[in-house]
Amino acid sequence: MDGSYPWLLSKLNPFHIGQGYLPTFVSCSGNLLEDIDSQIERLVRKKFDIITLSISGNDFKFGQVVVDCVYPYRFLPGYDRFERACNSTLTEAETAIKNPAKWKEFRNAIKRYAKFFAPPRENDACDDIYFFPRRIFAVLPMKYSTRSRMNDLVDLVNSQIETHIAGSVESVTFVDIDDHFTGRRFCEPENEDDPIGADNPNVWFNDLTTTLEEDASWNPGSVRPSPEEDPWAAWALGLPESVQNDTDLVPRGIGDNLQRASSFHPKTAAHIATAIKVANMIFIDFAGHHLPE
């Protein structure tokens, strides 16, 4: 929780200075859009100044896209079947995002998503890069076409959030954080020597081999599991033990729960920028409602 944008926002929030306030933090716990209702029920008879929501990745196969398109691995030859699986998962995610029935399952949202990759170019440095950390088992390079589709899906889910919420709930404000990530994504042209940038502070997304700041292991038993099968769990079960526990790759080993859960999620610098942007929105909104004209 420490270092996440809600935690940082609580430190910036002037309404709680000196009150020892800590946010209720349930991020990355496998929740779906339909789970927002149960979270809202917890607010009954409680007073809050600010509520932030960032949800929908699990509904639209975010984890499966990363597993099938970014970190697939193999023990036997067979490129085509992995490419088909990636394209199929991307298509399923796009279909789910476009399904209007899915968007009726939630009430509001605030923070939009940021695209993972710099604008892709054919034959750029990432076209021949494998994100899976052991080349002998790697399957799919991060071709510009795959990166383009993944970026397009982020834009699509953002537009759907705005389309299905804007005008229906006056209290909802959208915070677009994508511009903060410009020049700080995977596969930036200036990072040709290290396109992934696992430990590059100027790349704002964690990779599977990013050295994490956390000391304590994430306890998956502390959160309610997703109703859908976790694609990362199946991915980890199939890993060869020599790779899963290889501390030369990363101190925790890529089979570690926290290591996997953090992949393709923002680093602390990104959370700081997000907290500042959300705080600015709060201050502007507060001034507009409470200060004399």
pLDDT one-digit tens code per residue, 107-161: 343 567 899 999 999 899 999 999 999 988 999 999 999 999 999 999 998 888 7
Which residue from 44, 41, 46, 1 is spatially nearest to 24, judged by alpha carbons?
1
Cα 95 to Cα 207: distance, rounded to the nearest angstrom: 27
Whether 25 shows a pLDDT value over 60: the answer reads: no
Q: Whole-model pTM?
A: 0.75
Q: Is pLDDT larger for residue 263 or for residue 291? A: 263
159-210 pLDDT per residue, tens: 887 777 654 566 567 788 899 999 999 999 999 999 999 999 999 999 999 9
Give the pair of three-digit tokens for residue 170: 């006056």
Determine the pLDDT at residue 220: 53
Q: Is pLDDT larger for residue 195 or for residue 57? A: 195
User: At residue 192, what is the residue type?
Assistant: E
Mean of the pLDDT values across residues 68-76? 86
Give the pair of three-digit tokens for residue 129: 């890069």
CA 101 and chain centroid, separation:
23
User: Within 10 A of 154 (CB to CB), how many other CB atoms are there?
Assistant: 19
Element spanning 92, H or E: helix 79-98
Determine the pLDDT at residue 102: 62
Q: Which residues pair with 205 in a beta bridge?
A: 266
Determine the pLDDT at residue 252: 82
Whether 103 shows a pLDDT value over 80: the answer reads: no
Give the pair of three-digit tokens for residue 31: 């929740």
Q: Are 275 and 9 in contact (CB under 8 A)?
A: yes
pLDDT mean across residues, the chain: 77
Cα 83 to Cα 98: distance, rounded to the nearest angstrom: 23
The winner for highest mean pLDDT among 13-22, 63-72, 274-283, 284-293 is 63-72
Q: Are 177 and 245 in contact (CB under 8 A)?
A: no
Cα 246 to Cα 262: distance, rounded to the nearest angstrom: 18
What are the phi and psi torsion angles at 251 (to 5°)?
Answer: -50, -40
User: Within 10 A of 234 (CB to CB), how many other CB atoms are there?
Assistant: 11
Determine the pLDDT at residue 48: 56
Q: Are 239 and 230 in contact (CB under 8 A)?
A: no
The share of the chain scoring above pLDDT 90, in percent, equals 32
5-216+229-289, CATH topology level: Rossmann fold (3.40.50)
Tallying the residues shown for the chain, one arrives at 293
- Domain boundaries in the chain? 5-216+229-289
